[in-house]
């Protein structure tokens, strides 16, 4: 099965040192962006991975194309937005290795995605589409995303959603919670962190929010840092411990987790009906979560995004505490 990631490929300017004087920090340009990270995660593990989106008419756009190709992501539907710029995120770390982000999104190419960017052959019962909540962060993106989802549903595709809430992506952050909730109701697989659900819907509403999504038929995967992963569906629920590692950079950890989960699951079925049936069994989801957690654990021991995502052989040699 194909995993088709939809959305931004951007530049992560990664801090390579943390000084008392922030002005002395050094930064390195790395390829990133949550949907692009998931596309690379699947491809590096050996899956059939595509990315649909837009990059700028600039050197960063060329760099992203080169890096995605290097990691064997199909970029036939990654187009160039004329006169637009590739977005950038400044990723800084404090002395405890905690991240902070500054986004540079003015005239950003990825916000100009169009229905014409999607080749017709993407839509089929052999396709799983992966979105992040940034796909509904503006009225224009929301309109395109709704049109794409309508086509996915009509052609028996499946939808994966990583909530991946980024306040700076939203033209009107006050609309984020209801729009993300509406998008989640259409997803077959949802990955979220407990922290972002608390931010969006309130700490007292985490369980009810998840249950509402489950009642719509979604399988929900809930991460909480180094705490066990929770998984909830209409058929079952459970938890699975994460491997114990010493983290150095958590930038792409969630993308690695969901990318690993989608890769593993999509190897188990030739079409979406078969995948849906496979995901209805507790023991299958446990197996996929185990694999995904190992992917995420490996990634936090590396620095960067694309380069931090594991290949299969990395998982066999990874050390845990």
The pLDDT of residue 299 is above 70: yes
Q: What is the distance of C-alpha 94 from the center of its chain?
A: 24
CATH architecture of 2-317: 3-Layer(aba) Sandwich (3.40)
Q: In what order do the strands lie in the sheet with 237-240?
A: 78-81, 48-56, 2-6, 127-132, 158-162, 189-193, 219-224, 227-232, 237-240
The pLDDT of residue 22 is above 60: no
What average pLDDT does the segment 261-272 reach? Answer: 97
Percentage with pLDDT > 70 across the chain: 94
Q: What are the DSSP calls for 77-117, one per residue?
A: TEEEETT-B--EEEEEE-TT--EEEEEE-TTBGGGG--GGG
- Using DSSP, state whether 127 is helix, strand or coil: strand
Among 41-45, 91-95, 134-138, 238-242, the least confident range: 91-95
**Nearest alpha-carbon partner for 15 in 92, 97, 102:** 92
The pLDDT of residue 277 is above 80: yes
Domain limits, the chain: 2-317
The pair of structure tokens assigned to 191 is 């990955």
Long-range pairs for 313-321 at CB < 8 Å and ≥24 separation?
Answer: 315/291, 318/243, 318/245, 318/294, 319/245, 320/243, 320/244, 320/245, 321/244, 321/245, 321/246
Q: What is the distance of C-alpha 253 from the center of its chain?
A: 10
β-pair partners for 103: 89
pLDDT tens, residue by residue, 177-210: 999 999 999 999 999 999 999 999 999 999 999 9
- What is the pTM assigned to this prediction? 0.94
The pLDDT of residue 90 is above 90: no
């Amino acid at each position: 099965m194909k995993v088709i990631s939809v959305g931004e490929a951007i530049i992560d300017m990664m801090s390579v040192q943390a000084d008392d004087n922030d002005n002395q920090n050094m930064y390195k340009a790395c390829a990133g962006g949550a949907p692009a990270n998931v596309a690379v995660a699947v491809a590096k593990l050996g899956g059939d991975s595509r990315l649909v989106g837009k990059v700028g008419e600039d050197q960063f756009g060329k760099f992203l194309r080169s890096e995605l190709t290097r990691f064997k992501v199909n970029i036939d539907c990654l187009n160039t937005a004329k006169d637009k710029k590739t977005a950038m995120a400044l990723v800084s770390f404090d002395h405890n290795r905690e991240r902070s982000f500054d986004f540079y999104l003015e005239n950003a190419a990825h916000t100009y995605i169009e229905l014409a960017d999607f080749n017709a052959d993407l839509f089929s019962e052999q396709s799983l589409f992966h979105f992040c909540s940034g796909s509904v962060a503006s009225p224009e993106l929301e309109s395109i995303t709704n049109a794409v989802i309508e086509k996915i549903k009509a052609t028996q595709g499946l939808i994966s959603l990583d909530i991946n809430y980024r306040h700076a992506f939203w033209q009107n952050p006050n609309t984020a919670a209801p729009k993300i909730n509406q998008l989640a109701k259409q997803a077959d697989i949802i990955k979220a962190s407990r922290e972002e659900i608390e931010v969006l819907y309130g700490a007292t509403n985490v369980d009810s929010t998840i249950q509402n999504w489950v009642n719509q038929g979604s399988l929900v995967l809930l991460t909480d840092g180094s705490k066990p992963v929770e998984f909830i569906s209409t058929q079952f629920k459970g938890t699975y411990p994460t491997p114990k590692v010493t983290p150095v950079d958590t930038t792409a950890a969630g993308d690695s987790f969901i990318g690993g989960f989608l890769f593993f699951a999509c190897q188990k079925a030739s079409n979406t009906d078969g995948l849906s049936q496979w995901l209805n069994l507790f023991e299958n989801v446990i197996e996929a979560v185990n694999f995904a957690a190992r992917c995420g654990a490996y990634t936090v021991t590396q620095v960067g995004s694309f380069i931090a995502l594991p290949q299969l052989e990395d998982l066999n040699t990874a050390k845990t505490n």
